[in-house]
A and B are shown apart, each in its own frame.
Chain A
């Protein structure tokens, strides 16, 4: 398998720069980086040669941006945008068809008393429950925005399985109707410096995804340093990941603002150098509307306003949705609501 996914510069080039539509055919990275993935040592030289990340200044910048004061109409706009970016998630061993059906209903109509509340972007579930979600969502795109089915795969959350098993996991999810696949990288291989193994696995998964968009979970809590987050982000972008995603939600710390800053900077740099736009998804630990708005500020000011779209930015979260709904009602009614007025699903 390995030899089939190492690319040389003579392979066909990517789609038109910036084209957001449809699946990108599986192939090597675009011209500026075609040689980078030629072999393990080129990949290592490239990733280890990326500029370092200084934690003090990074955290200072993230804390500074978090003090932005978002009021009035801009707050309401941000809340609606954040709701439309939520990947409403349930990833428990105890998930049942009933739980997933409830999740889908919540995704379709987050606030039954306020029908103009936007739908969320996607529901995110385990592969065996994809058919349940697909059935529950059938025909729903006729009544509003289409909700995507995102499924974690590749032996989520640890990723400790043979590549062939991971591929089978992905295929089953896609065949059952998943629009998006959330894979985990092999953190063990990454930390051991075996970047080529991580790269090849992402490429193979991307191939197995077909038309589904691929989210590459870096599990930044296990990568530990910002330097590693930057390297892993670039590795995932080189390998064709449509999204780079922070965390499984099963490891602490999950998403943090500084980590997301590093990833937003990576997609911004990637776009500048290749013309291709890629998406970012922080996941885990985002619980309040205030948190979500801080992330949107970072999206706007670090990556750029062109990422303020559910196609390019998502929140992997569950509880944040209810706080967003509550804050939305607060903005409209001018007073606070109790949690009992928002549905628990």
Chain B
């Protein structure tokens, strides 16, 4: 019989760049208008090619004052007076607007962020729309959250979001704030300001009253001015632990409400009785989804010794099939790293792991000549003392540690200043429940990883922050309740 195996490679299947309708220049959105900001222009880069993508006008302190004053007027004026059902209508409109422009947003996000079109198309954009749909439904039902018959909104929320899920984080922040009756001044990340400015167009098309949502692009200094501005009633920040700590310090004594969603070093714990092939899928999803640039990434794999060898073999085999490259190609599994700065950070920390004696494996998948890319990497035989076992890497680099007993797994998983996410893989339900009860993490997945739903609360412990986003708990963060830190 013939053994003529057909050489079958996938032809490039790029999504059309024109769909994104990238403009040369993007403007801040303040008081219902797109205006030239007073700050220095910033240039946002397409990390997939390492070339400039668009120019964005940024705000200065005067613009910020204008934006916050507009948000205050909108709050005192129409917005806080509207019935919940009326607010809900606007949110439904925004949700539909996102769905209608889904393809454009997906391509734009992929261009600006570097994540594969497969993820923006199937995850980021639809989930962003879902967040608006979900919270639209709550707007007229706040009295049923368990905070009294008529819980009060807070006022003006100052929000700062990261670059790893630009549109989704915007939805994650804006939707509950508006549903609860607040107005918003939000700053996108310096490297990914475009999709939220398209969201601004959707918001404008939805006829939201001027000033209810204000978008103020800029660098870290704008974020600092925003969260410290006296006109703000509530601060919500998602980003690095270092910046989160600064915010907490500077807000101490102001009486302002604060939620922080910071870094993580998620433990993905695989017991010997786990469904191994699917555990492999969960590990891959945990660390290679969005190229590992996920705060809840499962960057520490804890595997029980009897299956460690077998699991690693299967994991490497599977990771080898990941297609790294052009974010716009529909068959790309792992896209670009968001910035050259992040690329340097990942490379440096990975090298530290190698120098400290971890056994390094890298996928043989070729990388594009241009742009910021990291090969999927596994660092096996790691120990808790190594930097790669303790520091957040925010890249497609997995650290593998073994354990013998459930207690040892718990001790190792909890031995981290972070406490955001964890995964448990076992076919034994009682063990999964027992682990979940003792794991110090805000989000614990059982036989799955990196699954998100607007109805589920998300948030962390310790250096991963505090406060919850999503679900009824997430709404509470935008209402006058005593469920979380008030920095008084």
Interface contact A81-B8, CB-CB below 8 Å? yes
CA distance A68 to B10 in the complex (A): 9
With A57-B275, A265-B277 already in contact, the answer to whether A70 and B13 are too (CB < 8 A) is: yes
Q: Contact check: which of B4, B122, B279, B447 meets A309 at CB < 8 Å? A: B4
In the complex, what distance in Å separates the CA atom of A20 from the CA atom of B276? 29
- The answer to whether A56 touches B8 (Cβ under 8 A) is no
From B8, B13, B274, B331, contact of A305 by CB (8 A): B8
In the complex, A95 has a CB within 8 A of chain B: no
| B481 / chain A contacts, CB cutoff of 8 Å | none
Cβ of A44 < 8 Å from any Cβ of B? no
Encoded as 1 (CB less than 8 Å from any B CB) or 0, chain A from 270 to 302 comes to 000000000000000000000000001000110
Determine the distance from Cα of A296 to Cα of B4 in the docked complex, in whole angstroms.
16
Complex alpha-carbon distance, A309 and B1, angstroms: 11
Kindly supply a per-residue 1/0 record for chain A positions 61-81, scoring 1 wherever the CB is within 8 Å of any chain B CB and 0 otherwise: 100000111111111011001
User: Which of B3, B11, B321, B330 meets A72, CB within 8 Å?
Assistant: B11
Is A311 an interface residue, CB under 8 A from the partner?
yes
Check if A54 is an interface residue, CB within 8 A of chain B.
Answer: yes
The A-contacting residues of B in range 1-52, CB under 8 angstroms, are 1-13
Q: Roughly how many angstroms separate A141 CA and B7 CA in the complex, as a whole number?
A: 25
Asked if A306 is at the interface of the complex by the 8 Å CB criterion, the answer is yes
Interface size class on chain A is: 20 to 34
| Contact residues of A between 34 and 71, Cβ < 8 Å to B | 51-54, 56-58, 60-61, 67-71
Q: How many A-B residue pairs have CB under 8 A?
A: 83
Least Cβ distance of A306 to chain B in Å?
A: 6
Given contacts A68-B10, A70-B11, A75-B11, contact A52 B275 (CB under 8 A): yes
The answer to whether A305 touches B5, judged by C-beta atoms less than 8 angstroms apart, is: yes
Pick the residue among A20, A61, A309 that contacts B281 (CB under 8 A). Answer: A61
Q: How far, in angstroms, from A305 to B5 measured CA to CA in the complex?
A: 7
Which chain B residues border A21 with CB–CB below 8 Å?
1
11 A-B pairs besides A70-B10, A81-B6 with CB distance below 8 A are A51-B277, A54-B279, A60-B281, A67-B122, A68-B331, A69-B330, A78-B8, A265-B277, A305-B5, A305-B7, A311-B2
Q: List 28 A-B contacts (CB under 8 A).
A: A51-B273, A51-B274, A52-B427, A54-B279, A57-B275, A58-B277, A58-B278, A61-B278, A68-B330, A69-B330, A70-B10, A70-B11, A71-B12, A72-B11, A73-B11, A74-B8, A74-B10, A77-B6, A81-B8, A300-B8, A305-B7, A305-B8, A306-B5, A308-B8, A309-B3, A309-B5, A309-B6, A311-B3
The 3 closest A-B pairs by CB, nearest first: A57-B278, A69-B13, A54-B278
Binding site for A on B (CB under 8 A): 1-13, 118, 122, 273-279, 281-282, 321, 330-331, 427, 447-448
